[in-house]
């Protein structure tokens, strides 16, 4: 039985619910396969188990983000790629503008992390148990990330660029911008509201509360890159560059020649003036990005 395009005539709301169902089913299968490959909790930070951990991470990413999107595109349209918003042409100006935006936004991202931490500290006395759990989750995530990103060879670097930069960039952009944001925009009839809601979901799903605000900011940037270019390749590229910067800066060949402790960048003090300069430059590049992608110029 041919199921291609079976959801094509369904309402946008119903399509979104079917997508959520696909995500739950695929994630459940992915958790099973991923748990088979995952090392025991007590041995998770043993060097010999690092590759198992990476394979487990790859399986989880594919089953949670990529497979549901592919299945949904198959079920919801005769033209599968058109579901996500891919366009054949990626303007060369976009590549440079996106690169500059991602680089220059970093100080403002750190500033947002500072604000995020200050806010959580200010409410910690009202939610002591929840706050301690958030700190514990954050510490575990940081420890796992540092272990994951410890690299001693170019092969390790290439593998991490694939697993941590490329796969999440493709999977999460298909998932959040390509489906969630597009469907919410059609349902709510509001581009801006769909970008904000999608970005909140994007940030919350990572379960790292001390990084909620900076990740929300990243989600908003990715959302509007997609809105103004109407090409999912732009948000995938931006997401990849953002992730790749983190991987590259942790590579020993780079980090050993830097004075800054790369693993402690989030604790670098960013002043309001530096943050203001950062976001002002990014807004200038974003203005140019909008001009380049003006539909009238197509």
- The per-residue pLDDT for 298 is 40
- Highest mean pLDDT of the ranges 95-104, 202-211, 267-276: 95-104
The pLDDT tens digits of the residues spanning 237-251 come to 999 999 999 898 887
Average pLDDT over residues 88-114: 91
pTM: 0.90
Q: What are residue 27's phi and psi, to 5 degrees?
A: -65, -40
pLDDT of residue 253 exceeding 60: no
- The per-residue pLDDT for 297 is 44
How does residue 254 score in pLDDT terms, banded at 50, 70 and 90? low
Q: Is 207 left (phi over 0), alpha (psi -120 to 50) or beta?
A: left
Average pLDDT over residues 73-100: 81
- The H or E element that residue 215 is part of is helix 212-229
The pLDDT tens digits of the residues spanning 20-31 come to 999 999 999 999
User: Residue holding tokens 């007590």?
Assistant: 42
Q: How far, in Å, CA of 190 to CA of 254, rounded?
A: 43
Q: How far, in Å, CA of 9 to CA of 236, rounded?
A: 28
Q: What percent of the chain is predicted at pLDDT more than 70?
A: 89
Average pLDDT over residues 137-165: 86
Dig out the tokens for 100 from the structure. 């500059």
Show the DSSP H helices in 9-105 as ranges: 12-37, 50-61, 67-76, 92-104
- The per-residue pLDDT for 282 is 96
The pLDDT tens digits of the residues spanning 212-223 come to 999 999 999 999
- The per-residue pLDDT for 108 is 94
Of 4-13, 38-47, 158-167, 266-275, give the lowest mean pLDDT range: 38-47
pLDDT of residue 276 exceeding 90: yes
Do 217 and 104 touch, CB atoms closer than 8 A? no
- What value, to the nearest 5°, has the Cα angle with vertex 16 and ends 13 and 17? 90
pLDDT of residue 161 exceeding 90: yes
Do 262 and 255 touch, CB atoms closer than 8 A? yes
Overall size of the chain counted in residues: 298
- DSSP output for 106-145: HHHHHHHHHHHHHHHHHHTTTSHHHHHHHHHHHHHHHHHH
For residue 102, what are the contacts with CB-CB under 8 A and spacing of at least 6?
Answer: 238, 241, 242, 245
Angle between helical axes of 212-229 and 191-204 (0-180°, round to 10): 140
Dig out the tokens for 235 from the structure. 């948000």
pLDDT of residue 252 exceeding 70: no
- The per-residue pLDDT for 48 is 75
pLDDT of residue 261 exceeding 70: no
């Amino acid at each position: 039985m041919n199921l291609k395009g079976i959801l094509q005539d369904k309402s946008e709301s119903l399509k979104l619910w079917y997508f959520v169902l696909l995500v739950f089913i695929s994630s459940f299968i992915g958790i099973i396969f991923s748990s088979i490959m995952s090392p025991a909790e007590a041995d998770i930070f043993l060097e010999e188990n690092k590759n198992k951990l990476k394979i487990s991470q790859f399986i989880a990413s594919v089953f949670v983000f990529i497979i549901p999107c592919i299945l949904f595109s198959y079920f919801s349209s005769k033209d599968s790629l058109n579901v996500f918003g891919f366009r054949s042409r990626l303007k060369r100006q976009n590549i440079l503008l996106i690169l500059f935006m991602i680089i220059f936004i970093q100080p403002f991202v750190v500033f947002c992390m500072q604000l995020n931490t200050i806010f959580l500290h200010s409410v910690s006395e009202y939610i002591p148990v929840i706050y301690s759990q958030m700190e514990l989750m954050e510490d575990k995530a940081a420890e796992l990330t540092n272990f994951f990103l410890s690299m001693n060879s170019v092969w390790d670097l290439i593998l991490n660029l694939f697993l941590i930069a490329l796969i999440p960039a493709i999977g999460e952009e298909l998932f959040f911008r390509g489906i969630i944001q597009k469907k919410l925009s059609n349902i709510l009839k509001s581009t801006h509201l769909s970008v904000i809601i999608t970005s909140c979901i994007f940030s919350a799903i990572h379960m790292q509360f001390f990084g909620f605000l900076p990740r929300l900011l990243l989600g908003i940037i990715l959302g509007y890159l997609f809105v103004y270019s109407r090409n999912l390749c732009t948000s995938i590229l931006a997401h990849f560059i953002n992730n790749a910067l983190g991987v590259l800066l942790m590579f020993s060949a780079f980090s050993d020649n830097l004075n800054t402790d790369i693993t402690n960048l989030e604790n670098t003090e960013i002043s309001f003036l530096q943050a203001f300069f950062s976001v002002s430059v990014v807004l200038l590049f974003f203005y140019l990005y909008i001009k380049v992608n003006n539909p009238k110029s197509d």
